[in-house]
Structure 1
Amino acid sequence: MPSEPVIAQPVSRRTIRLIAITGIVVAVIVVVSGVAVRAVGARDLRAWTSEQTLPTVNLVQPKAASSGSTLDLPSRLEAFSRAPIFARVSGYLKSWDVDIGGQVKAGQLLAVIESPELDQQLIQARADLATAQANAALAATTAKRWQALLGTDSVAKQDVDDRTGDYAAKKAVVAAAQANVERLVATKGFERIIAPFDGTVTSRDTDIGALINAGSGGVGQELFTVSDVKQLRVYVQVPQNYAPIVQVGTVATLSVPEYPGQHFTARVIASANAVNASSGTTLVQLLVDNSNGKLMPGGFASLQFKLPVQADAVRIPASALVFDARGLRVATVDANNHVAFKTVTISRDFGDAVEIGSGLTAADRVIDTPPDGLIDGDSVKVAAAAATSKAAKNG
């Protein structure tokens, strides 16, 4: 059977009013929420923009030196005693007994020189002495006879004085001839070349049959060199600013290329106490024991001095330094993240790092590689603090 038609009920005015009010409230809430979101976004944008205008810097903490640095210097080794041997007589080398590297004692024979000309000079000198002695003997006899005749008044006193004076002159000639013979005998003794002290023969520049000229320098040649190598002298040029630290008694570590990894102990025994104007260094002498014979005189050596720790010195990266018209400075950051420049002095340069002698403390916060254009009082953003703040927001 057919259904009955549904009759729609009319909506009351109260319901319509309620719906309208609800719509208005919703619209107001949407508008207010939009305005609030835009205000917060604008505030965040302003804060972000302000934050982006601040330069971000990385900080480094100055480190106090826990131990003193080392001073590495090139040096040279020399024998404790070195005697170049030259000939005192001319001739030909008859023989030599010790070659290079040989150990010798004081007075030991090194070589013999044959000097025939000197032999002939000695023969002639002895003959001259014999002649002078004979003349003196005759003059003595004559003087005595004339003095005896003086008592008889048969000769003049002047003649007696002449004979007596002649005898005195002949005696002087004998003394001169005797001295000449002794001189030649002493010179002939130099035909035997001997070692002046205990040591090692470090050079031999002659051979049998070689012509030998007496003298040194441009006249004669060096025949042998005897060196005392049980101890070696070490000579090093120390820069002027380190000279007050390297005093007599200071101990250094020595190394040589032929023994890599091995170290020897050297001790300062003398200083020139004067600065070379051309190099700005002072000459220092050290002594190193060489009883084992490992070290060789004339060789190169590297010396290391342990420098004392400077109480107020701190070390920072070299990239933190700023050099401009105001001099050498370092940019620091205070507790309020404001820039403060400090004038510093460098005591030692290690290449990638420098040791600051004055102007900085271990408590300072130093900017590493400061941006261009920073001036005192500028505000900066510390990179570590920014990262921490960002991590906190993300968390």
Structure 2
Amino acid sequence: MNEPHHHSSLDIAVGGEQGMDLPARGQAGKRARIAVIVVGVLLAAGAARTIVSNVMNAHHLADVTKQNAQQYVSVVLPKAAGADGRIVLPGTLRGYVEAPIYSRASGYVLKWYADIGAHVQQGQLLAEIDTPEIDQELAQAQAQRDQSASTLSLAKTSFERAQQLRQRDAVSQQELDDRQGAYNQDVANLAAADANVRRLQQTKSFQRIVAPITGVITQRNVDIGDLVNSGNGGAGHALFAIAQSDPLRLYLDVPQSDAPHVALGQHVSVTQQEMPGVTFDGTVTHTSQAIDVATRTLQVEITLPNHDGKLLPGAYVQAALQTDSHGRLTVPGNALLFRAEGPRLAVVDADGKIRLKPVEIAQDLGQTLEIGRGIEPTDRVVLNPSDSIADGDSVVVVAPHAGGASGASGASGTSGANDSAKRSTT
């Protein structure tokens, strides 16, 4: 009777506790749902922000890539060639006659009499060579000559006696012919001995080194006691070198395009950098009358008076020839493109497109090129074009230069333009 009563009280207690937890559980579930919603919203916001950021970065990267892909070039306008119609060419002065002197006798240098810079006359003694071997050979040759002369004298006497005996029929004709043959042979032997003596005498005379022309000693390559060989065998250099410095010769290589304007007797203005303001007058005396196949140039010889000796053989000079260069244009040398089809110049048209124009180079002036035909005065020529530049490429022109800008300024302008473009995209 008591146990059922206790069970009922416990059930009532438990049921009371469960009734009290229901509202708390409802509040906890509601808070959990709110937390889940907040987290979802935050995640969605983060994802949206990431997507927007990626899209913006993609657009920015595309803009930067497009901007970096653009080619920035510096251009220059062609400059008219010299209005005076002159062509200036470099050259090297040479002596009118230049003579390297070698020894014709082998021996040792006994003494020399002229040093570099000395003015010598034709036939003047320059050096003496001791030739003991030639002296002995000459003595031997003279002894052999005397021997041949003695043999000839005996043969002549024998032949004359045989002729007398033959008249009396005391000797046969055969014996007379034998003696005549011996006599003729001895005559030839004496002639050969005389020739050998004269040869050695002439060789011995070469122990005296004399000046073949009147001029200035420009080189002395021997000293007392030096061993010299006959000719230039084994020596490797001349004993002396003499140059005739008045007048001087100047050789120029005139481009084929200007060759028709060169004539004999034409006056040429010659200048030297070390003597500013001084001009020397030369005359065209010879031309090769042919165009060199390798260089496409005409060789011209100019004779230049040098009475006062101001100009020195071997000096580097520039000569101005009067030609017809009107209408030609010049561009910097660093604007030229070498392609398999021939030389090209990259020109920017009005639409900002590259046009590769074939050109004809009339003259290479070093830092500049004189163009015969292929471009116009209004063409914008690209400086320092890249090897990859192609016909039709779009470019951006920056820092245009005045006509005839130098290659250095063009290069710096292009570099500065590219650097500023890179800075603007970063």
After TM superposition, the score normalised by the length of structure 1 is: 0.63
Alpha-carbon distance between aligned partners in 2 of 1:104 and 1:141, rounded to the nearest angstrom? 55
Give the alignment partner of residue 89 of structure 1, picking from 102, 105, 116.
105
Alpha-carbon distance between aligned partners in 2 of 1:142 and 1:293, rounded to the nearest angstrom? 71
- State yes or no: 1:306 paired with 2:283: no
Partner SS for 1:181: helix
Structure 1 140/225 Cα, relative in aligned 2: closer, same or farther at 3 Å?
A: same
CA contact (8 A) 1:348 1:356 kept: yes
CA contact (8 A) 1:101 1:200 kept: yes
Alpha-carbon distance between aligned partners in 2 of 1:258 and 1:287, rounded to the nearest angstrom? 21
Alpha-carbon distance between aligned partners in 1 of 2:374 and 2:280, rounded to the nearest angstrom? 35
Give the C-alpha shift of residue 168 in structure 1.
1.5
Give the C-alpha shift of residue 265 in structure 1.
1.4
Give the alignment partner of residue 133 of structure 1, picking from 149, 152, 159.
149
Give the alignment partner of residue 192 of structure 2, picking from 154, 157, 176.
176
Letter aligned with residue 147 of structure 1: Q
Deviations 1:115-171 (A, max 9, x none): 010001110011001111111111111122222222333322211221122112111
Question: What's 1:157 paired with?
Answer: 173
Question: What's 1:273 paired with?
Answer: 289
1:1-395 equivalent positions in 2, closer than 5 A: 67-216=83-232, 221-308=237-324, 310=326, 313=327
5+ unaligned residues in a row in structure 1: which ranges?
1-62, 319-326, 333-342, 361-365, 374-395
Alpha-carbon distance between aligned partners in 2 of 1:354 and 1:174, rounded to the nearest angstrom? 73
Alpha-carbon distance between aligned partners in 1 of 2:375 and 2:134, rounded to the nearest angstrom? 78
CA contact (8 A) 1:328 1:344 kept: no
Determine what percentage of the aligned residue pairs are the same residue: 36
After TM superposition, the score normalised by the length of structure 2 is: 0.59
Question: What's 2:26 paired with?
Answer: none
Alpha-carbon distance between aligned partners in 1 of 2:369 and 2:256, rounded to the nearest angstrom? 22
Deviations 1:51-70 (A, max 9, x none): xxxxxxxxxxxx99994333
Give the C-alpha shift of residue 85 in structure 1.
0.5
Alpha-carbon distance between aligned partners in 1 of 2:146 and 2:370, rounded to the nearest angstrom? 85
Give the C-alpha shift of residue 307 in structure 1.
2.9
Alpha-carbon distance between aligned partners in 1 of 2:304 and 2:329, rounded to the nearest angstrom? 33
Alpha-carbon distance between aligned partners in 1 of 2:254 and 2:87, rounded to the nearest angstrom? 9
CA contact (8 A) 1:212 1:220 kept: no
5+ unaligned residues in a row in structure 2: which ranges?
1-78, 333-344, 351-356, 382-391, 393-426
Structure 1 102/369 Cα, relative in aligned 2: closer, same or farther at 3 Å?
A: closer
CA contact (8 A) 1:93 1:111 kept: yes
Deviations 1:8-51 (A, max 9, x none): xxxxxxxxxxxxxxxxxxxxxxxxxxxxxxxxxxxxxxxxxxxx
Letter aligned with residue 226 of structure 2: A
Partner SS for 2:89: strand
Deviations 1:325-365 (A, max 9, x none): xx999999xxxxxxxxxx999897999998997999xxxxx
CA contact (8 A) 1:330 1:344 kept: no
Q: More helix per residue: 1 or 2? A: 2
CA contact (8 A) 1:344 1:356 kept: no
Give the C-alpha shift of residue 190 in structure 1.
1.0
